[in-house]
Structure 1
Amino acid sequence: MSDLVLDSASRWFGNVVAVNDVSLSIGPGVTGLLGPNGAGKTTLMAMMAGYLAPSAGSVTLDGQPVWRNTAIYRQIGLVPERELSFGYLTGRQFVRANADLHKLPDAAAATERILGVVDMVEPAARRLDTYSKGMRQRIKIAAALVHEPAVLLLDEPFNGVDPRQRMHLMDLLRRLGDQGKTVLFSSHILEEVERLARHIEVVVSGRHAASGDFGAIRRLMTDRPVQYAVRSSDNRRLAALLMAEASVRAVGLRKEHLDVQVDDLGSFAVGLPGLARQHDLTLFELSPSDESLESVFAYLVAR
């Protein structure tokens, strides 16, 4: 049972602050690190893995500092987002090299064991540069797990992976979490996190935005004010009608459409067609205008 703790951890590069005063704790099981691209997820992962020193604050594993603590490295496995640069090696050679770097007493047996865990025994004789994206991800996980670490960190592990391979990777990570390992994976895709992790940490612009059960945070995201573009046969008349609706916070009249801000997306979307029909209006468009992850996370940070 291992706990990875960041205490007021920051990291800057010159005048650029990549991670700003982040405090969080990651325990056994599967945790999702959710945030838009550029939020600082990769920098956080590098600090947790001991590859990058915090500029301020601390990163510890079971109370021991991670940075420049070679004994701790035996307890951590990192699966980076960047592509493998050892295409001339076979999968087996790549995993074996990591086993040898950790000076495992029986590196050959450890290599074969972990190749079986990730279902890569048969393709292991092939060169890495012949692998599909999903196979490369699995062989990277094998290399990160060959020394049986208590903590596994994965940076955007599902990027570019086809649906079948994605399911295989998710099943593998669930099994590792069920075995008591501390598994943390980063993603900018809400649905990936929802399918795999019940506990999530949300970061945006290098700051810690939210933490806790996925359902509670998802409700925060769903219940936030949402901006919609609405176009009808009579926008001025519809605007007056919408201002009387309890779920509508504001209405802006544009040249060809209305900008409508609503508090309760469910009741607004359900009630709008009936309202239009009752007043003999025709709806031509109803579309979200700010549904990017960046806007969702910015809302969470501002709370």
Structure 2
Amino acid sequence: MSDLVLDKVSRWFGNVVAVNDVTMTIGPGVTGLLGPNGAGKTTLMAMMAGFLAPSSGTVTLDGEPVWRHTDAYRLIGLVPERELSFGYLTGRQFVRANADLHRLPDAAGATERILEVVDMVEPSARRIDTYSKGMRQRVKIAAALVHDPTVLLLDEPFNGVDPRQRMHLMDLLRRLGDDGCTVLFSSHILEEVERLARHIEVVVSGRHAASGDFGAIRRLMTDRPVRYSITSSDDRALAAVLIARPAVQSVNLRPQGGLEVQVSDLGTFAADLAPLTRSHGLTLFELSPSDESLESVFAYLVDR
């Protein structure tokens, strides 16, 4: 198990600041690195992988600096977003070349094993320049995994991958995370992150905007009203009761049934709701937050 630690990391290119004073720790399991296009995700990945030096701050793997620390590369697998420039090689040759670079004792066996893991055994005899985008993504993942790294960094790994292949790769990353591998993947597609990683690191305009479970992040947003979906034995009667409460900002009846309630003081609302409904002879059937999704959290962080 390995920990990647970024401490006050910045990176600039001339007068352009791509990453600004980012501090975060990436540990075992699957973590999503989330941000809009141009937020600095790829630059962060390059510094974590040791391919780019921080302009200031440090990136360490298990306490050792990653930049110019060649032993660290044995523990890291990188799947870059950019396209492969080795189209003249077959998929098998490309993965085998990575196995040879790591001086694996059984490079041929490791190559065949990992090609099977990513479901690329049959196409591996073909040249990479004949592959679809999804196949090129899978062969990049195979090359990154051939030496069994403890840290796997993936930059937009699902771009161009069809739905069946996406499910296969998501299952693979979950298994790696469950086995103790430190898996970090970047994406600007909220659905991908929500399905694969509960823990997120959010980067906006080169800055670290949030870290943690996205439900917990939402609950820390005290300056934003909380919305709840509620169904009861008599929704209209409950709406009349709730709208008179000081903590309730608005109540809307949903066409499909139930209420959409917006509250400013979650603590007061939660404490009062059960005795309030009981005293009016009403029964609650459902109470759930309606804005604790990753989409809601992300929109708030980007727009603030």
Q: Normalising by structure 1, what TM-score?
A: 0.75
- SS of the residue aligned with 1:138? helix
How do 1:14-53 residues align onto structure 2 when only pairs under 5 Å count?
14-53=14-53
How do 1:105-254 residues align onto structure 2 when only pairs under 5 Å count?
105-217=105-217, 224=224, 247=249
Structure 1 residue 222 displacement after superposition = 12
Q: Separation in 2 of the partners of 1:294 and 1:174?
A: 22
* CA shift digits 1:141-161 (9 cap, x unpaired): 000011111000000111222
Q: Which residue of the other structure, out of 292, 296, 301, is the alignment partner of 2:300?
A: 296
Contact conserved, 1:79 with 1:154, CA < 8 A, in 2? yes
Backbone CA RMSD of aligned residues: 2.5
Q: Which deviates further from its counterpart, 43-52 or 217-226? A: 217-226
- SS of the residue aligned with 2:201? strand
Q: Which deviates further from its counterpart, 144-153 or 215-224? A: 215-224
Q: Describe the shift of the 1:220–1:90 C-alpha distance in structure 2 as closer, same or farther (beyond 3 A).
A: farther
Contact conserved, 2:217 with 2:297, CA < 8 A, in 1? no
Q: What amino acid maps onto 1:185 in structure 2?
A: F
Fraction of identical pairs, as percent: 84
Q: Separation in 2 of the partners of 1:225 and 1:182?
A: 35
Q: Separation in 1 of the partners of 2:260 and 2:203?
A: 27
- SS of the residue aligned with 2:216? helix
Q: What amino acid maps onto 2:19 in structure 1?
A: V
Structure 1 residue 5 displacement after superposition = 0.3
Structure 1 residue 214 displacement after superposition = 2.7
Structure 1 residue 215 displacement after superposition = 2.3
Structure 1 residue 293 displacement after superposition = 8.9
Structure 1 residue 267 displacement after superposition = 3.0
- SS of the residue aligned with 2:103? coil
Task: Name the count of aligned residue pairs.
Answer: 245
- SS of the residue aligned with 1:185? strand
Contact conserved, 1:36 with 1:294, CA < 8 A, in 2? no
Structure 1 residue 246 displacement after superposition = 5.5
Q: What amino acid maps onto 2:5 in structure 1?
A: V
Contact conserved, 2:134 with 2:159, CA < 8 A, in 1? no
Q: Separation in 1 of the partners of 2:200 and 2:62?
A: 20
Structure 1 gap ranges (5+): 227-244, 249-264, 269-290
Q: Describe the shift of the 1:195–1:223 C-alpha distance in structure 2 as closer, same or farther (beyond 3 A).
A: farther
Q: Separation in 2 of the partners of 1:131 and 1:220?
A: 45
- SS of the residue aligned with 1:267? strand
Q: Separation in 2 of the partners of 1:48 and 1:120?
A: 27
Q: Separation in 2 of the partners of 1:71 and 1:224?
A: 46
Q: Describe the shift of the 1:107–1:221 C-alpha distance in structure 2 as closer, same or farther (beyond 3 A).
A: farther
* CA shift digits 1:63-109 (9 cap, x unpaired): 00000000100000000001111111111000011111112122111
Contact conserved, 1:76 with 1:152, CA < 8 A, in 2? yes
* Partner residue, 2:77: 77
- SS of the residue aligned with 2:86? coil
- SS of the residue aligned with 2:261? helix
Q: Separation in 2 of the partners of 1:221 and 1:187?
A: 23
Q: Separation in 2 of the partners of 1:218 and 1:190?
A: 15
Structure 2 gap ranges (5+): 227-246, 251-258, 263-294
* CA shift digits 1:207-246 (9 cap, x unpaired): 00000013223566899479xxxxxxxxxxxxxxxxxx96
* Partner residue, 2:276: none
Structure 1 residue 59 displacement after superposition = 0.1
* CA shift digits 1:10-57 (9 cap, x unpaired): 000011100000000000010000100000000000000000000000
Structure 1 residue 6 displacement after superposition = 0.1
Q: Describe the shift of the 1:120–1:219 C-alpha distance in structure 2 as closer, same or farther (beyond 3 A).
A: farther
Q: What amino acid maps onto 2:261 in structure 1?
A: S
